[in-house]
Amino acid sequence: MKHPGPLVTLLAGLALGLFLLSLNATTGTKSASSYQEEAPAATASPSATPSPAPSASKPSPSPTPSRTAQPNADYAGRTDDNSSAIAVSLRDGKAIAYFCDGHDKESWLKGAVKDDGTMKLTGKQGAELNGTLQDGRRIRGTVDLGGQRYGFTADKAVKPSGLYRATATVRGAKVDGGWIVLPGGDQVGILKRDDKPSPAPEIDPSTGVVTIDGEQLTARPVTP
């Protein structure tokens, strides 16, 4: 049996090599040595924005206590010894008072009312009233006048109770009258003619009209 010669073997090898080359060209297959796997592109992670540090909140200031406004009202009553009457009118933190015995002793006093309801009112010739408003219902205190001290209680007054005054010139004389209308309707007052005191005639509480020496005057409520 004869073996194929070297020439035939060489030709067979060349034919096989050409066949493989043509096959690679038509399929586009890359050889293992030429293939390089591309690594995926690294994705940039978003930069973390630092959260702003919480600002230290300032403590809110404590609310300022509101001032306790004393009510606008009128008060009237008698001294503890029942010798005299007193009336006090309060408006917007101010007060005016009238002390009167109905004969010849009287005093007008005025001053301020503090937030706690206390008051110190002063008048002529050293007259002084010290009082305390109690729950808006009454004033309890003292009046110093003419070397004497009078304790008093003045309850809240409802019109027509309260304090009245009339000033005018009647028949050539200067007239100045003060009246305290007490709860229940009693009146205590002094009328001065040219600074000479005498008991005052009664007024009509509904109108304030009073007749003095034949002439009609009108006594009006007194407020600070």
Is residue 6 scored above 90 in pLDDT?
A: no
Could you tell me which residue, 203 or 11, shows the higher pLDDT?
203
Q: What is residue 134's predicted lDDT score, i.e. its pLDDT?
A: 94
- List, for residues 124-179, the tens digit of each pLDDT value: 999 999 999 999 899 999 999 999 999 999 999 999 999 999 999 999 999 999 99
Give the least confident one: 13-17, 35-39, 52-56, 218-222: 35-39
95 membership: H or E segment, kind and range: strand 94-100
Number of residues written out for the chain: 224
Backbone angles phi, psi at 216, to 5 degrees: -90, 130
Amino acid at 51: S
**Structure confidence at residue 206 (pLDDT):** 92
pLDDT band at residue 36 using 50, 70 and 90 as cut-offs? very low
